[in-house]
Amino acid sequence: MQLTLWTYEGPPHIGAMRIATALQDVHYVLHAPQGDTYADLLFTMIERLPRRPPVTYTTFQARDLGGDTAQLFKDAVAQANARFAPKAILVGASCTAELIQDDPGGLAQALALDIPVVPLELPAYQRKENWGAAETLYQLVRRVAQKSDGHNSNTPNEYIRPRCNILGPTALGFRHRDDVKEISGLLHALGVRCRWWLL
Amino acid sequence: MGMQLCEVGTPYLHRQHLAHELAQLPAGTRLAEGQDVEKQLDRCRADAPDLVVCGLGLANPLEAEGFTTKWAIELVFTPIQGYDQAGDLAGLFSRPLNRRLKLVA
């Protein structure tokens, strides 16, 4: 059976997972209780990816709430950074962890890692999955994009082959892989070079 | 049946509720509570068991690594109680192993 449409949206951290999974060398540390790890199986069972999404959960349980969940989060970020050696880390809370207000962004900044750390504020009780994906890509690009120096290195009369980026396709996007193939084929036929895309 | 148990992991272990089950485990069975999944996967790879009974989220990644897996949820939803269903219980464990043998052949 192949699903053509995904019929409902999840909370916004699912959108963030879709962006993280679509990128290389990006890891997402998610402050989330035991049970929220079920989101993994959207990727491993429904999309049938042969690997877990690049997500580390803090998986706190009821008894941890009597202790220091903030330290738990900091340990998870440090361990994920050591284990996966990503080039950027996204940090945030799932819908349930949002309620304990541990400030994942601030905690991760305090670790002073030598890679970009992108805090995600995804208000799970006002927004949903697609918004979460858009916000995550926006925050990530905002954090890591380099400013143009305003100079074009090409000489004025030199023919510049048009180039474009394809933004939008994500993991768990069902037809996105086919779309990317089709769109890049069309652009290639028009002489436009695709520089990169997600997935 | 001669099965050697490497590790039993559970999200939450209530030792009083599960006292009778715990007593049935072979002495020295490694118990893991909570879900530090990366460490658990490290231990799994080190043990290299013939069969991994695991959650749905881990089955395909483990299969991709060459492990034979069984979804833990099937042990919850399959009626396996009593002598007349003991065969079904054994089948849950033997099916993935047989499938692996057929795929190799």
Give yes or no: residues A182 and A92 share one domain. no
Region of B96 on the Ramachandran plot (φ > 0 left; ψ -120 to 50 alpha; else beta): alpha
Q: Do A57 and B35 touch (CB under 8 A)?
A: yes
Residue B90 contacts A, CB cutoff 8 Å:
no
Give yes or no: residues A33 and A106 share one domain. yes
Low-confidence residues of chain B: pLDDT under 70: 35
**Partners of A68 in beta bridges:** none
Which domain range does residue A139 map to? 12-144
- 16-75 in chain B: CB under 8 A from chain A: 34-38, 55-61, 63-64
A95-117 burial, b if ≥16 CB within 10 A, otherwise e?
A: bbbbebebbbbebbeeeeeeeeb
Q: Is residue A28 a part of any domain in this protein? A: yes
pLDDT at residue A155, as a whole number: 61
Give yes or no: residues A126 and A193 share one domain. no
Residue whose C-alpha is closest to residue A86's, from A46, A130, A39, A29: A29
Q: Is residue A152 a part of any domain in this protein? A: no
Partner residue facing B57 (CB), from A41, A59, A79: A41
Give yes or no: residues A103 and A133 share one domain. yes
Q: Is residue A5 a part of any domain in this protein? A: no
pLDDT in tens, A58-105: 999 888 899 999 999 999 999 999 999 999 999 999 998 999 999 999
Mean pLDDT on A112-139: 95
Q: Indicate the average pLDDT of chain A.
A: 88
Give yes or no: residues A117 and A45 share one domain. yes
Give yes or no: residues A132 and A168 share one domain. no
Q: How confident is the model at residue A153 (pLDDT cuts 50, 70, 90)?
A: low
pLDDT at residue B102, as a whole number: 93
Which chain B residues are Cβ-neighbours of A51 within 8 angstroms? Answer: 61, 64
Give yes or no: residues A36 and A124 share one domain. yes
CA nearest to A64 within chain B: B34
The domain tally of chain A equals 2
Interface test with A, best of B10, B35, B67, B73 (most A CBs within 10 A): B35
Give yes or no: residues A119 and A54 share one domain. yes
Give yes or no: residues A96 and A167 share one domain. no
Residue B12 contacts A, CB cutoff 8 Å:
yes
Q: Is residue A43 a part of any domain in this protein? A: yes
Q: What is the pTM of this model?
A: 0.87
pLDDT in tens, A4-32: 666 678 999 999 999 999 999 999 999 99
What is the DSSP secondary structure assignment for residue A186, as one 8-state letter? H
Partner residue facing A41 (CB), from B12, B56, B64: B56
- Answer for the pair B70, B80: CB distance below 8 angstroms, yes or no: no
Give yes or no: residues A16 and A109 share one domain. yes
SS3 A196: strand
Largest CA distance in chain B: 46
pLDDT at residue A15, as a whole number: 96
Give yes or no: residues A86 and A169 share one domain. no
Which residues, 6+ apart, have CB-to-CB distance to B13 below 8 Å?
A: B31, B33
Which chain B residues are Cβ-neighbours of A40 within 8 angstroms? Answer: 57-58
Q: Is residue A122 a part of any domain in this protein? A: yes
